[in-house]
Structure 1
Amino acid sequence: MSVIDRIELYLVRTPLPAPHRPSWIPGTVREHVSMCVVRFITDDGIEGWSGFPASGRERAGLGDPLAALFLGLDVDDQEALQERILIMAAGGSFNWWIEPAFWDIRAKAAGVPLYRLLGGDTSRIPLYASGGEIKDTGARREEAERRFSEGFGTMKIRVHDFDESVDIEHISDIALHMQGRMRISVDVNQAFRLTTNGDAPLWSLDRAKRFVDAAADVGLAWVEEPLYGDWHNAMAELTSYSRVPVAGSELHLMGYAELERMISMRCYNIYQPDAMWVGGVGHVMKVAGLCRERGVRFTPHCWSNGFGFIVNAHVFAASGFAGEELFEYPIAEPGWVPEARDMIFTQPFVHRDGWFDLPEAPGLGFEIDQDVLSRYGRCYFKASRREQHWMPEALSYWV
C-alpha cells in the first residue's frame, strides 16, 4: 500500500506573450497563466501533480484541510479520496482538481500513461480548434483561415452580445465564409455568469430557441451552453426543440450524480464535463460510460490551463469516443497559445495537423520545469506526516 506522505502547494504566475480577453469573463484582461499547483508525494517517493486556475489568493488557506484529509491516505482508495473532496466542499470549497494528481501517481506506479491505466488504447486523438475571445467578423474570418491551414476541420467561436441580432450575424458570417471547408460550432457562455469585471447577457429560453434556429439554418456543428446551468427543464425543452446539437455540462460541480440526472432528462445532446471541476477523472469516466449506454455524445471541456488540457485528453482517449468525436484544443492568439499556457512543463502540448498525440511517459506524461517553477512560482505550504509549514511571505507574490 502506498500512502500520501508529503504535500506542497504553490502559487504560479507565468506570463502570456500578449493580453488575453476570455469571452466568459467580460471585461477581464489576462496577462498571466495564474494557478494554484499541488504536489503530492507518496511514502515510496512517487509524485503526483495538478494545477487549477487562481485569480488571486483564494486558495491561500487550502493547506490545512489538505494535510488533515489526505496525509496518510492510501492513493488507491478512490472512494475515500472522493469522500474527502466532498468534505472540503461541505466547508465551501470544491476541489475536484486535486483528484487527477492521485491518478498521476497510480499511473506512474503502474508504469503506464494514464489513458492506458483507464483502459484506453488510442494514443492519437482528433481535435477541434477552440477560440476563446470575442472577435469582429473580419478577425474571425482570419482566425478560421489560420486554423484551417493548420489542419483543423472544425472551429468553435464565441458570441456574447446583448443584441441577439449581432450574435446571429456573427455565426452566419463565419459559417457561410467557411462553408464546404470547415465546420463551425459556437459557445455562448450562458451556463454560468462571471460578471465581476463586466456585465453579460442572460438568455431566456425564447432567445435560445431563436438562436438555435439560426444556427441550424447555417449548418453549425453544435451550440454550447445556451442556457443557465441550473435550468435543467428549460435545457431539456431546448434540446428537444433544436435542429442543431446542444452541448454543455463543463462545470456541474456535484459531478456524476447531477449529470446522471441531466442525461436522464436529455438536457443535452453532447456532454462536456471537465475533470478539473466535475468530479475528477473518476466521475467523468463514469459519465462517459453512461453517455455510451444512453446513446448521447461525449467530449470533455478543457479550457483552463495545461494541467486541465492533458488530464481531459487522457480521459477522452480512454472514453471510447475518440473515434467518433473531437477533443477541444484551446487557442486564442496572440495571447493564449500552448507554449505560454504550458510554460510550467518542460514541453508544451501542441497539435500536429489537427491531431494530438498523447505522451507515452507514465502518469499524466509531463515533467515540471523546475527553473520556471522557481522563477514564477512560490511554495506557500508544505506538510508531511511529521510536520507542516506555512510560508506566508510567499503570498506577497500575489499582491
Structure 2
Amino acid sequence: MASFMRPAPRTTSSSIRRRSVHRRSWRALRSVRSRCGCGRACAMKIIGVKVLEFRRRLDGRSWNPAFRWHERRAPLLILETDSGLSGVGEAWSQQPRIAFVLDYLARRCAPALLGRDPLLRMPISSQLESVSAGATEPWVAAAAESAIDIALWDLAAQAAGQPLWRALGGSTGRAAVYASGGLYRDGSSVNDLAHEFEADVEQGFTAVKMKLGALPLEADLERTRTVRDAVGDEVTLWVDAVNQLIRASAPAWCAALARVGVAAVQAPLPFDDIS
C-alpha cells in the first residue's frame, strides 16, 4: 500500500474510516485451504470485504495544477477469505470526490465479491463490468476495479506461496522506481525546487517526476530547466500535467518540454478525453 510506505506524522487508527460488508455466517463453512500441499493454489471463498479510507492531514501550502493539498486521502480495500488469507488493494481517486469510489466499492462491488473464488479473476472482472452501469461517473468504476484487481493479485500470490513480483511474472525481486515531487509550494523558489531534486539524486534515484501545468508555458519551462540542470543529463526527467493541458496547446507544450530534456509527459489532457 503506497500510502503507508512512509511514516505519516500524527496518523493514528482514527485516520482509517471503515465501511464493511460481511457475511459472518460463511465463516462456519468448510474452510478450503489456499495451499493443499500439492504446490498449486486451491479454491477459496471471499467471506469479508472491508472498504477503508486513509486520511493524512497536510499543511495546505503545496499544490498541483488541479487542487491544493490540505489532506491526502486514499480508498483502500481488504478482501478476507475463508482460508485466513487477506488481500489488500488501493484505488486512485480524484481527491475531492473520493466518496464516489468508497460508496461504489461498498454498495456495488462488495456484494458482487462475497462468496466468489478470488483466484478466478476473469469471471470476477466480468461480473464487475455488469454492475459498472451503477457508477456515478465512468472513472469511478475503473478506479474501484483497480483496487479489487490489486487485492486479487495479492491473494493469488499468497495462495501460491510466492512473492507478488514472481506471481506477476517478474524474474527478480527488484523494480525500477522514481522520485515524484516538484509540487508548487507557497513561498518556495526555483532554487528550492532544484534542491528538492538534488536531494533525490543524492539518495540514488535515476529518474524523477515533477508537476507542471498551473503556470504559463514559459514560467513552467523555467521550472523544468532548473530541475534538468539540477539533476544532470544522466537522470530521466518526467513531468505530470495533472490533466490540465488542452488539445490546442498541448503539442506546443510537449515540443517545448522535449527541447529541455523531458522524456515523457504524464496526463497532459483530461483523463476522459479519449476521442
Matches within 5 A, 1:219-298: 219-232=261-274
Counterpart-to-counterpart distance in 2, 1:172 and 1:7:
50
**Which residue is 1:49 aligned to?**
88
The equivalences for 1:71-150 within 5 A come to 71-92=114-135, 93-94=140-141, 95-96=144-145, 97-131=147-181, 133-135=183-185, 136-150=189-203
How far apart are the structure 2 equivalents of 1:188 and 1:98?
27
The answer on 1:159 being equivalent to 2:159 is no
| Correspondence for 2:77 | 38
> Is the aligned partner of 1:11 residue 2:61?
no
Q: 1:86 to 1:226 in 2, by over 3 A?
A: same
Tell me which residue corresponds to 1:391. Answer: none
- C-alpha deviations, 1:184-229, integer Å up to 9, x for none? 2212222xxxxxxxxxx54233x22222222222222222233334
Kept in 2: contact 1:22–1:132 (CA 8 A): no
CA RMSD of aligned residues (A): 2.7
Structure 2: distance between partners of 1:202 and 1:216: 16
CA distance in 2, matches of 1:25, 1:184: 21
2:108 is equivalent to residue 65 of structure 1: yes
In structure 1, distance between residues paired with 2:87 and 2:230: 45
Which runs of at least 4 in structure 1 moved beyond 6 Å after TM superposition?
Answer: none
Are the equivalent residues in 2 in contact too, given 1:19–1:30 (CA < 8 A)? Answer: yes
Give how far 1:179 is off. 3.3
Equivalent residue in structure 1 for 2:238, among 169, 185, 192? 185
Aligned pair in 2 of structure 1 residues 102, 183: CA closer, same or farther (>3 Å)? closer
Q: Structure 1: which amino acid aligns with 2:70?
A: R
Of structures 1 and 2, the one scoring higher in RCO (CA 8 A, sep 6+) is: 1
Shift in Å, 1:118: 2.2
Kept in 1: contact 2:213–2:245 (CA 8 A): no
SS of corresponding position for 2:176: strand
Aligned-partner SS, 1:125? coil
Tell me the alpha carbon deviations over residues 149-189 of structure 1, each in whole angstroms, 9 at most, x when there is no partner. Answer: 11112211111234222122222232234334534221222
Q: Provide, for residues 259-312 of structure 1, a one-character-per-residue CA deviation record: whole Å limited to 9, x for no partner.
A: xxxxxxxxxxxxxxxxxxxxxxxxxxxxxxxxxxxxxxxxxxxxxxxxxxxxxx
Q: Tell me how far apart the structure 1 counterparts of residues 46 and 196 of structure 2 sit (CA, whole Å).
A: 47
Match of 1:173 among 216, 226, 239: 226
Question: Is the deviation greater in 181-190 or in 80-89?
Answer: 181-190
| Structure ID, larger Rg | 2
Distance 1:129 1:204 in 2: 28
Give the SS at the match of 1:168: helix
The reply to whether residue 29 of structure 1 matches residue 69 of structure 2 is yes
8 Å Cα contact 1:2-1:42 kept in structure 2: no
Supply the AA of the counterpart residue of 1:41.
E
Q: Secondary structure at the match of 1:209?
A: helix
Q: Scaled by the length of structure 2, what TM-score is found?
A: 0.69
Q: TM-score, normalised by structure 1?
A: 0.49
- Aligned residues between the structures: 220
d(CA) in 2 for partners of 1:10, 1:62: 7
The 1:102/1:146 distance shift into structure 2, 3 A limit, reads same
Quote the Cα distance in structure 1 between the aligned partners of 2:274 and 2:77.
Answer: 34
| Distance (whole Å) between structure 1 residues aligned to residue 204 and residue 57 of structure 2 | 25
- Is 2:179–2:209's contact at 8 Å kept on the other side of the alignment? yes
Q: What secondary structure is seen at the aligned counterpart in 2 of 1:35?
A: strand
Q: 1:53 to 1:224 in 2, by over 3 A?
A: closer
